[in-house]
Structure 1
């Protein structure tokens, strides 16, 4: 009887828990075991092709990002260029508010004349190289018509990428108090743009994927604005890790991306480097240390740590089959199978001590595919499934969350449906083959 009573009590408790009496439990984001590598409030490193997270320290905490905001703003400017909405040689004139802000040399700015006109190209260069705030605002107005409309576009772009916890109040990353009359109405007098390190890395990832030409500008160490005019000013890139600048390291050929500095954000930097065939993106928020180079000192530590502990393994070239996943069975096809392969070069990013034998493959069939079988007829280029590749010690996940699909496998040949007589004789052959 006692056993029966205990069983009934246990069953009732289970029913209550299943019924929703227990509160939902949020799962903390995975952290690197060696978070002491970087002395900063938050940091992250990713491989941009796969989106794999290679290092994470407080990476999901939403913090001020200052002028790293301009990466998102430049994404929208380049989108407008690509769509034909604006052109590089379009001439842009100032309004009184932006002109007034451009005269504040306590902020990062290039001198702009009230009655002057400037090309989209020179404003773009000034925004990326010198972090020129008024230049960035003038580009935003050119694209969207107003600062407020551009901020709305920035927020919409983030949401389209699955980033919903960011706070965007202006196009530059300045504190709203510094914008004065240029502040977007209703955004707060002391408000500032905020985002997590992980989401900042995702912004950089999209910028490099959508507009890889941006590296031609972010890698420029020095350039003269309006060279040969009375307004000429030497612009030295705030990314001091570029060749010829104070934090350059020949072993780390950094070619971007964007710094950020404010009282609330501290010294921040989103950097990128390609070495040993692998590109990485790093984000350091509010770097600690005494030196003026602290954000670059911490970035160097992070980059070296990641490059020592991770590598890329090429699984196949575009159009080349991956061992174990080279064919799909075609039910009632003229051929019984048809070849499948990734449409782009397939790589896995794994810990540096990983061998190919240590890799784990997780295959997910596409819609309409049952396990590894699809009904004829099959078109060339049909998506068959997605392949996720992981390894031991690989537990930090990816940026972009559930949008991650892995390596996409598609058919490289078409397979029409077999005719009636082929199917009849094939059925007879299969019948006797199974008997014997």
Structure 2
């Protein structure tokens, strides 16, 4: 879907108005799951297909979910060989102050101490360490201000359209003790729409699936066995043995600030199917921001994906009575058709009874009279089995939008008949039409 991109240069007044405009009566919003939040979306992580949504294009605060973009840029830098997991970073004064500031989510970092990229990455992903995120921004780009530029460029590269990144951690700039990144305003906030958070999550999982090994870690010790040993507890309460445990959950990132409310980008996989969910500013039954509700509302979305959406399967005989087609000028009069696998598609239960498929012959295989023409090779593409869908599917990225189809092949070869046989047939056809 085409949307207007909100860039970093937006005035604070406009941003504040946009944020407040979505704070009205959002309880039991008009989505299939009636999710209770300012915005939400559920996406199939394999196809990018939108399964459920509410207010998905609205630019809203994302708090520490900002770290997902920092994760992407760190993993990309690792992948391209620009940095290594074993590289060390010596804590700057800015990072020291923000990593030890009261009231902020952190793993304490010591002034002048050297930490590996891996240690900082795990502190950021598992414990949502703000100081660790800022440290990593300095590792990748030299300064947080330069890193913010990379964040916004990467957002555009990934196809995001409603976004504004102003720091690497997700803190409100005014909470950064006057050390917010150069080029940003003290009142700036990280803001992204629900659909674009799902787009970021889609790319993060697709491009760097190893992120789930860290985001799915329930607990981990920071610098175990040293005098800095610190037990990091994952902020995701849907992981195993946690209060809102959800089977298959292994990511991705929570966020909480007064501006953004309680947010969560979740993901879970069951039986080979993975979904991505985004909740922005979850609300309780009284319409108040609620940390617990981001997990409760996420459960609603994921339950709908896993239970309310099923896999429909179609075979060639669902489209044609006989799995053969006549062949002009062949030694045999017909060719048998086949598919390598059935056409499978996930769709809501209520749509399954109305779903149907069509067999479309490849026009390039037909002669001027609309007939299949010999010779035909075994395995040659004859056409496609295509899902007929009265409802237009939506995807988080335009380029992911495609017909649901499988290729139909020739099950055997049909050689071209010799000249004598073809002539005899043509004579027979002529007299047959004459009489």
State the TM bucket, normalised to the shorter chain.
0.7 to 0.9
CA contact (8 A) 1:385 1:410 kept: yes
- 1:397 maps to what in 2? 394
Asked whether 1:359 is paired with 2:355, we answer yes
Cα 1:391–1:88 change in 2 (3 A) is same
SS of equivalent to 1:37:
coil
| 1:350 and 2:347 matched | yes
| 1:183 aligned residue | 180
RMSD: 4.3
CA contact (8 A) 2:57 2:162 kept: no
The answer to whether 1:174 aligns with 2:194 is no
Query: For the Cα contact (< 8 Å) 1:140–1:146, is it kept in 2?
Result: yes
| Matched residues, number | 390
Structure-to-structure mapping, 1:33-182, within 5 angstroms: 34=31, 37-182=34-179
- Counterpart in 2 of 1:279? 274
Q: 1:220 aligns with which of 217, 222, 225?
A: 217
Are 2:162 and 2:196, in contact at CA under 8 Å, matched by a contact in 1? no
- Provide the secondary structure at the position in 1 that maps to 2:163: coil
Is contact 1:224-1:232 (8 Å) kept? yes
Q: What SS does the aligned partner of 2:164 have?
A: coil
Question: Map of 1:267-416 to 2, 5 A cutoff?
Answer: 267-289=262-284, 292-313=291-312, 347-355=344-352, 358-360=354-356, 389=387, 391=389, 394-395=391-392, 397-406=394-403
Output the CA distance in 1 between the equivalents of 2:29 and 2:420: 59
Structure 1 SS opposite 2:259: coil
Residues 360, 237 of structure 1: alpha-carbon distance in 2 compared, 3 angstrom cutoff:
same
CA distance in 2, matches of 1:196, 1:364: 39
More off after superposition, 63-72 vs 152-161: 152-161
For residues 211 and 380 of structure 2, the distance between their equivalents in structure 1, rounded to whole angstroms, comes to 33
- CA distance in structure 1 between the partners assigned to 2:44 and 2:214 by the alignment: 21
SS at match of 1:43: strand
CA distance in 1, matches of 2:66, 2:195: 14
Q: CA deviation at 1:105?
A: 3.4
Residues 143 and 314 from structure 1, CA distance in 2 versus in 1: closer, same or farther, beyond 3 angstroms? farther
Gaps of 5+ in 1: 1-30, 328-335, 375-380
Q: How far apart are 1:258 and its partner, in Å?
A: 0.6
- C-alpha displacement at 1:236, in angstroms? 0.7
Deviation, 1:264, is: 1.0
Compute the displacement of 1:278 (Å): 2.3
- Residue 427 of structure 1 deviates from its aligned partner by 8.6
* Matched residue SS, 2:231: strand
- Pair 1:277–1:425, CA change in 2 (3 A): farther
User: CA offset at residue 364 of structure 1?
Assistant: 10
Q: TM-score, normalised by structure 1?
A: 0.74
Q: Is the 8 A contact 2:345 2:404 kept in 1?
A: no
C-alpha separation in 2, matches of 1:220 and 1:118:
20
- Which secondary structure does the structure 1 equivalent of 2:73 belong to? helix
SS in 1 for 2:221: strand
Displacement of 1:231 after TM fit?
1.4
> What SS is found at the alignment partner of 2:298?
helix
* Partners of 2:238 and 2:142 in 1: CA distance: 35
| Contact preservation (8 Å) 1:63, 1:265 | yes
